[in-house]
Structure formats: C-alpha cells, structure tokens
Amino acid sequence: MSGDRSSTAARSTATPKAASSGAIILDGKAFAAQVRQAVALHAGEFASRFGRPPGLAVIKVGEDPASCVYVKSKRKACSEGGIASFEHDLPAATTEAQLITLVYALNHDDRVDGILVQLPLPNGTDANRVMDAIDPAKDVDGFHPVNTGLLAQKRPKLRPCTPYGVIRLAEGYGIALRGLRATVVGASNIVGRPMALELLLAGATVTVCHTGTRDLRAEVERAEVLVAAVGKAGFIPGEWIRPGAAVFDVGINRIAPGKLVGDVEYEPAARRAGWITPVPGGVGPMTIAMLLSNAVAAAFMRAGGKN
C-alpha cells in the first residue's frame, strides 16, 4: 500500500499537506469546510424549493461541560449552513418520560427534519430508549437501530456521522479502501461498530478489536487502515503502526486544559504512517460536517425530493 501512496494522493480532491515527518496529514478541518460549503448550497436549494430551511432540533440535558461545547458548535454550524436550529436545553432533572415526550413532539413537527439528542444523558435516563423514540427518518446521528440495520444490510440511509466522516475523508484524499486490511480499535455503538460496517461497505477486510482482543499489537501491526476509537490518550504506540498505513484517530482526550490528543501516539505514528489524522483537526470537524449533510439529506428525503 505504501508503494501507491503518491498516485492515490494525486487523485485527492482535498489539498494534502506534507507532514514534516513523512505521513500526509489528513486535514479534516479543510475538507470539512468544503463539505459544509456544498451542504449549505443544498440547504439553499431545499429552502427555495420548499419555502423553509431544513430544520435540526438539538436537545441537551444538563450542563455537562463537553456537551455544552459540542452543542454550541453544532448550533453555530447549523446557522452557517443555512439550517434552522431548534434549541432545547433541558435541566439535568428532566425525566426520561419528559425527554421522550419532547422527542415525540419533534417527530411530528414538520419544521424539524433532524433530531439530535446530545450524549451522554444524565444518570437514570436510558439513552437507548430515548434514541429508539426518534423517528428513523429524522435520526441525523444515524444511531437508531433501523438506520444501523440498513447500514448493516448494505443499503445505508442516514449514516452515523463519525464513521461516515472517516469514509468521506478517505475518499477525499483518494485512499481506495477496497481490498485493504482495516482494523478498528473500539466497538461502541456510536463509533467502532458502525465504523466496521462502513469499512465493510467500502470493500475493506475488517477486524474489530475491543477489550476481549487477545493480541492487539498483532492486529494493529497488520492494519493497512487503522481506526482508533478507544478514548485513551496515546493508547496505540506509534511503533505498532504499519509503514504506509492510513491512520484515522477518532479519540478525543483532554490531557490538560486546552490540550487535546488522540488515541494514537501521534509523532512516532506520523513518522511511519502513509496518512494520518491530527487531533484536533482531523475526524472531529468531519463529524459535524456529516451531521449537517445528514440534516439536509433527511429534509430532502422527508419532502420526497431528490437530494
């Protein structure tokens, strides 16, 4: 794979930046900006055709500091992208029944094309029951079992934002995933599992690692594509990275105020990899771009129009 690096990079639609260390840095921030421009155009087309902008309801329960930051940036991105944002900031004491009642009301609100419930929810609220209440046609996070099931059956509709963002970033840089050996480290419902389904859909041969994996190092070492989604700073040593591999680091770990790092030990990994996402500025911005993309896609699908 490392042998065809220059030719695949040449097919890139983004502008790769050469890393001083050797790997091409996958500039998710720049590529996400391109995606968001295209999404804003689509949102404008929707508005002129249907007389209203696409609408996204973002529900936040409580004051978890990280959630407040994420929700703020999602709402800002909506307004920049021509998407109407419906804000629902609820107190931490909100019961599961109250939350589900709100979700049902939004399911029936015609101005709302997408519903996002920011996770985590306060203790005592079953996130699965809340997510299951969302109309799958408005499930812009792609977490509803119907949307996960459609992805598993090779007929994706609303796709989970982070895994879909990784795929779009790879496509943008001309990384042809078909036939590659891909390893996903992490098997959560929101990242690892749907990531494996996305890679499978893209034609990769996929291994999923988790806490029960016997020899993680061996699995990582043979990966031509590595996606790390564990949530532990520098968990994957750089020396495990296969030379020339494409490394997508989903992890976001705050190690000091204002200092975020990924799950992969960045500097040594970047010396060995063919491509690598930085943290921040890699997968994170793509997640928001795909959320906006899903919101506009949901609007068109609900309106019965072409996306």
Catalytic residues: 74, 118, 141
Concatenated DSSP letters for 57-72? Answer: EEEEES--HHHHHHHH
Say if CB 303 and CB 50 are below 8 A apart.
yes
* Dist. CA 149–CA 156, nearest whole Å: 8
* Dist. CA 50–CA 304, nearest whole Å: 11
Token pair for residue 181? 């050996």
* Dist. CA 257–CA 276, nearest whole Å: 24
Shortest approach of ligand NAD to residue 116 CB, angstroms?
13
Shortest approach of ligand NAD to residue 234 CB, angstroms?
12
Token pair for residue 288? 């928001």
Shortest approach of ligand NAD to residue 306 CB, angstroms?
29
Of the pair 98, 213, the CB lying nearest ligand NAD is at: 213
Of the pair 53, 142, the CB lying nearest ligand NAD is at: 142
Residues at the contact surface with ligand NAD, assessed by CB under 6 A: 162, 185-188, 190-192, 209-211, 213, 216, 229-231, 250-253, 283-284, 287
Each residue of 214-232: b (16+ CB within 10 Å) or e? eebeebbeebbbbbbbbee
Shortest approach of ligand NAD to residue 264 CB, angstroms?
11
Of the pair 49, 254, the CB lying nearest ligand NAD is at: 254
